[in-house]
Structure 1
Amino acid sequence: MKTILITLAMSLITFLSSAQLKGSGKTVTKTYDYNNFDKLSFDDLDGKIEVEVGKPFSVSITIDDNLINLLSVTEHSGNQILTVSLKGNKNNRMYIEDTKIKVKITLPNVVTLKNDSNASMIVTGISGNYLKIETLDNGSTTLVGKIENLEVTNSGNGVLNAKQLIV
């Protein structure tokens, strides 16, 4: 009986460690032609996110070639939201690691940023009347620019760095 339990435990450990999905290291870049959003949502990513405000719309994502089929980029034009996520990876369920994911987005104006991921996000060129920031997971967010009104929700372990943001 003891031998059976040890064998089952070792099999389970082997299965769980092999269940992790790793980036291949070979990257591909995709660009998207979206131009009707002022809200950004990043869900269940691990990597780097760069957002530059005050520029024409552009969306470019570099990702490991073996993860490209998991990438989801959706524009909800009715709500003016652009969502970038990895399909099926809610709460890092797929244990994806060692990724080279890099999201680069430029847009004329942003009113809401939601980082519900482990990705580090830097937002530059912030200006205007109002900005809402939601940091819901472990990702870090850095804000640079000037805004009149700022609303912050930080419910995860992520760090919000607003030292270079004038409010």
Structure 2
Amino acid sequence: MATVEEMENEIKNAIEGRYGKGAVKDIFHEELVDASRNATGIHHWVVKYVDDNNILHVDHDFYAEDDGSGNLYWRNVNPLRKFELPDQTQTFGDKIRQKINDMVQNGQALYAEIISINEELERARIFLKTDSEEGTYIVWLDEQGNLQKVKTSF
């Protein structure tokens, strides 16, 4: 439950959370009326904002309805979800690349190269050169996220 001002702040915060401070250029609010000019309890916002590519958008898809007690609720859908950033989930390949890069940067390996990655099985084939060993390995991550390896001939 929210007021008109709180809804406008929600809209502004969602857009600026996605595109940065100052992205919202203008917000226009109106309470819709019926043919007899009676208030319907439905509120509508038009928002002008600039995205990451400096493109100006005029978005009309913000509707809320009054519950009769002065509290507003999003109507049908929460339009702010479109401004949420998708979860940045790391793939198995991302995790292996990071582990391999860390090994080289920390001096644990002189050279490491990923030959292939099987995302479905969460296994990779890598070439690894350290001070004491060199070869091709099948690698995976254990439950603690530690790199495990077995030497292979292919």
- TM-score category of the 2 structures, normalised to the smaller one: under 0.3
Question: What is the TM-score when the length of structure 2 is the normalising length?
Answer: 0.20
Question: What is the TM-score when the length of structure 1 is the normalising length?
Answer: 0.19
Structure 1 or 2: more helix by fraction? 2
Higher RCO structure, 1 or 2 (CA under 8 Å, sep 6+): 1
